[in-house]
Each structure stands twice: as C-alpha cells, then as structure tokens.
Amino acid sequence: MMAEDTISAVITALGQGAVGIVRISGPNALAVSGKLFRAASGKNLADYSSHTMVYGHIYDLQDNSLVDEVLAVYMDAPHSYTAEDVVEIQCHGSMQALRKILSLTYAAGAKPAERGEFTKRAFLNGRIDLTQAEAVMDIISSRSEASLKLAARQQNGELAGVLHNLRRQLLDIVVCLEAAIDYPEEDIEEITFGEVKKKILEVGANISDLLNNAHTGRILRDGLRTAIIGRPNVGKSSLLNALLKEERAIVSEYAGTTRDVIEEQLLIDGVPLVLSDTAGIRKSDDYVEQLGVKKTLELLKDTELVICVVDGNEDLIAEDEEIFKTAATRPYVIIVNKSDLNVAATFDILKQRFGSNKVIALSAKTGVGMDELFDWLKSYVYGDKGTLSSGIYVQNARHEELLRQALQSLTDAGQAVSDGMPYDCIIIDVRRAINLLGEITGDTIPDEIINEIFSRFCIGK
C-alpha cells in the first residue's frame, strides 16, 4: 500500500558543497514542486518525460522572489528510489538555499521526512527487501573498501536472494510434512523422513556457512577492536607508530557512536583496526602491573584482539606472565619485539609454549617482520581464504543473531526427526526457522522492529 502523504528532505550533507539536493516523494511530488520550480522553458516539469533534467529556478511565491538557480528532475513511480513519484531539486550546496527550498516544499504541502523514511518507503513499496535497505546504511558508513564491497553486494540483493531460496526450501519441507499428515494412508512415511532430515541438514549447512563468514563481515564493517599490551619499554608505542606508518589510508579520528571515547582507525592491508584512545591504551598497560589482571580485563572489555608485546632481547619476567594471562582471555598474538637485537632464545621459548602460529618476531624499529604481522591479521580476519572471497558476508549483527536462531531451530527440527517426533512438532521448528529468516528479509517482521531499524538511519535517507 503506497503512502498517501508526500514528504521532503535534504538528501545531501548539510554543509557547504557545490551542489545540494532536496527530494520530494509521494503522490503530490509534482504538485508540490510545481509551486516552487519554474522551468526556464516555461513548460511544466510534468511535460517532460520522466528522468529528464530540467533547468530552471526556484521562486518563493509569497513575494515572488528568486531563491536559486537549479536543475529539477521528475522520476515517475515506480522508477524512483522510493518507488513513488519523486522530484529532486539540485540547487547550490548552501545551507541557506537548502533550508529555504525545503521550507518552500513544506509550505507547498510536503511533510518533513522522518529518519530513513525514503528508504523505508522503498522497502514498504516492495522495491527492496530489508537486507537491501539496511545495506544502504552500511554503504554510507563503510569503514573499509572491503566493507563497501560487501554492502554493495548486499544492496544488490545477494543476501536477499540466498535467504529467499532457503526459505523456499524450508517451505517445501513443511508442505511435504503437511501432506503426510493430511494423507497418512499414502504411506509416504519412510521416504519423507529420510528426505526431510536431509533437506533440513542442507539448509542448516547453508546457514552455518553464512555464520562462518559473519565474523569477517562484522570486522570489515565495524573494525577489529584491538589493544596493544605489554610491560613498559617493550616497544608498544614503537609498534603503534610502525603500524601507523604502514597505514596507507587517511587516519580517521572520530568519536565512537556508542561511547564517548576517541578511537583511532587504521587500515592495515584493508583490515580496519580500531585502537581505542591510544594514549589510554598505553596507560592501561601500566595498569597491568598496578592493578593486576582483573582491572586490565575490564579495560579490555570491548576489545576483541589483543596484541601482546614482549622485549625479545630480555628474559621473560613475572610481569610478562601477567600479560600472557590477560591476553589468553581473548584471541591474541604475541609479538617478540626488537628482533634487530638477539631475540632467538625468547622467540623459541614462546613458540614452544604458545604455538608458532601465535608468536611473531619483529622489529618495530626497523620494520622487519611487520609483513608477518599483517599476514597474521589478514588470516585472522579472513580465515583460511586469506582474502575476501566472492561468498556472502553478513555484516549486520541483527542478521547474524537471527541466522543463529534459525540454525538452532533447524537443529531442533533435525533432532525431532531423529527422535521420531510427530510431524506437527517438526513443522513447528521448521516454521520458526522460516519466520526468523523472514525477519532478516523483512517478510515476517513486526512493525515496531521495522520502525526501530529505520529510526537509526539519518534524515534524508
């Protein structure tokens, strides 16, 4: 059901730029724009064929004053972002011009668009599914090229396609079981049971595959939260500087959205590392001695990966052991630093103890061995593949959680089959999985959750 009201918003960044765009969407888009836009040709926007750029001006009809020189384009439903009638006005990218034009659209009858409302309408009008809508937000907020690539694939409907396919397979199972209930005399029990179990396992395996890649997807999207720990003077700051030197992208500093700490993000061979407040990290290392493991763990609460540094040119001491204990609570890698000096003895001991795939010797000073650390990071993020492959990488925590629940339901269903439970019981589990997958795509999802999801978008999206 199409929305009845017409909405408008500035869809470009609100700041100075060469061009800014106001979008009007809804059944009255043309009527609204007609009250402020005059084509230089003297024709109406509606006289042009859809998707044609039309040169003209915006006027304030109140006093007939000229506001700005613009290009306007009409996109007829359903061939637009929202799948509704849309008019977009490209004006000069000034805050004043944008605000003025926006207020004129309101005066002409448009309502202010809510957060994410354009994308929400695209979803409600069936142009895109929920995974594609959510990918829009991912594209805007991508922290790495790889993440952008994944979001673009999702926006293109890759994940949606796979999920629809899995749901269809599960629906087939339900249909098959319901037939067996309705026509018991047909004696299809034997075939059905074996087949049903096999199909349930197949779909479950597909979901497992998706979940296996989800860890990679999440890191590429949100960054790998990393802490560098070690006792004083082992070379933590030097390592950090060496990492920063390798960083080929622009170092971005931004306030975390959920916490008020400054984080630093570096892209190491395409892997986004998020080091929370590096000065703080340095301080927190000293805490290891002062406050012990427990307090340090608290400081590492949001950290996924621990890079644990020791001075390879010195013997290991009790403080190092404390550091190892802390590191062992997380995925970790041990850096035997100062390999330009003599580190062989310490390196060997640590490899023996922790395994050679957990210990890297390098010199933060000369940079020798840094490549090994980068390779280690890449294999941590990408697994055996070592690089981004063409498969599907779920990047969204909501999707991941729903996939996990769906897999659990299928595991339950498989168990019910093995236990020879009545068909009804199996059907309940399979149906639950179908609904959970439908929540990802938005086919079966309560309105509150839809509203919740789109409220996280920004105005103008």
Single out the segment in contact with ligand GDP by CB under 6 A; choices: 144-152, 162-170, 232-240, 405-413.
Answer: 232-240
**Which residue's Cβ lies closest to ligand GDP?**
235
What is the nearest approach in angstroms of ligand GDP to the Cβ of residue 289?
12
Q: Site for ligand GDP (CB under 6 A): which residue of 160, 310, 364, 427?
A: 364
| Shorter beta-carbon distance to ligand GDP: residue 362 or 453 | 362
H or E element at residue 29 = helix 29-34
376 in Cβ contact with 360 (< 8 Å): yes
H or E element at residue 204 = helix 189-222
For ligand GDP, the binding residues in 107-166 under the rule CB under 6 A are none
What is the nearest approach in angstroms of ligand GDP to the Cβ of residue 307?
12
Burial of 440 (0-12, 13-18, 19+ CB in 10 A): buried
Single out the segment in contact with ligand GDP by CB under 6 A; choices: 158-166, 236-244, 260-268, 270-278.
Answer: 236-244
416 CB-near residues (< 8 Å, 6+ apart): 425, 426, 429
Single out the segment in contact with ligand GDP by CB under 6 A; choices: 79-87, 115-123, 126-134, 363-371.
Answer: 363-371
Is residue 234 at the binding interface for ligand GDP, with CB under 6 A as the rule? yes
293 in Cβ contact with 319 (< 8 Å): no
Single out the segment in contact with ligand GDP by CB under 6 A; choices: 99-107, 322-330, 334-342, 377-385.
Answer: 334-342
Is residue 336 at the binding interface for ligand GDP, with CB under 6 A as the rule? no
Burial of 311 (0-12, 13-18, 19+ CB in 10 A): buried
Q: Tokens 């006792």, residue?
A: 231
Q: What is the token pair recorded at 87? A: 């008019």
Helix %, strand %, coil % of the chain (to 5): 50, 20, 30
C-alpha dihedral, 435 to 440 to 443 to 448, nearest 10° = 100
Q: Site for ligand GDP (CB under 6 A): which residue of 20, 235, 270, 438?
A: 235
- Write down the H helix ranges in 271-422: 278-299, 318-327, 344-354, 370-382, 397-418
What is the nearest approach in angstroms of ligand GDP to the Cβ of residue 230?
6
Is residue 312 at the binding interface for ligand GDP, with CB under 6 A as the rule? no
| Shorter beta-carbon distance to ligand GDP: residue 235 or 414 | 235
Which 3 state secondary structure label does DSSP give 335? strand
Q: Site for ligand GDP (CB under 6 A): which residue of 132, 142, 147, 363?
A: 363
- Write down the H helix ranges in 419-457: 423-441, 447-455
| Shorter beta-carbon distance to ligand GDP: residue 229 or 402 | 229
Is residue 279 at the binding interface for ligand GDP, with CB under 6 A as the rule? no
| Shorter beta-carbon distance to ligand GDP: residue 250 or 318 | 318
| Shorter beta-carbon distance to ligand GDP: residue 230 or 414 | 230
| Shorter beta-carbon distance to ligand GDP: residue 61 or 341 | 341
| Shorter beta-carbon distance to ligand GDP: residue 93 or 230 | 230
Q: What is the token pair recorded at 31? A: 């009527």
Is residue 237 at the binding interface for ligand GDP, with CB under 6 A as the rule? yes
Neighbours of 96 (CB within 10 A): 10
Is residue 405 at the binding interface for ligand GDP, with CB under 6 A as the rule? no
Kindly list the residues in this chain that would bind ligand GDP in the complex (CB under 6 A): 230, 232-238, 337-338, 340-341, 363-365
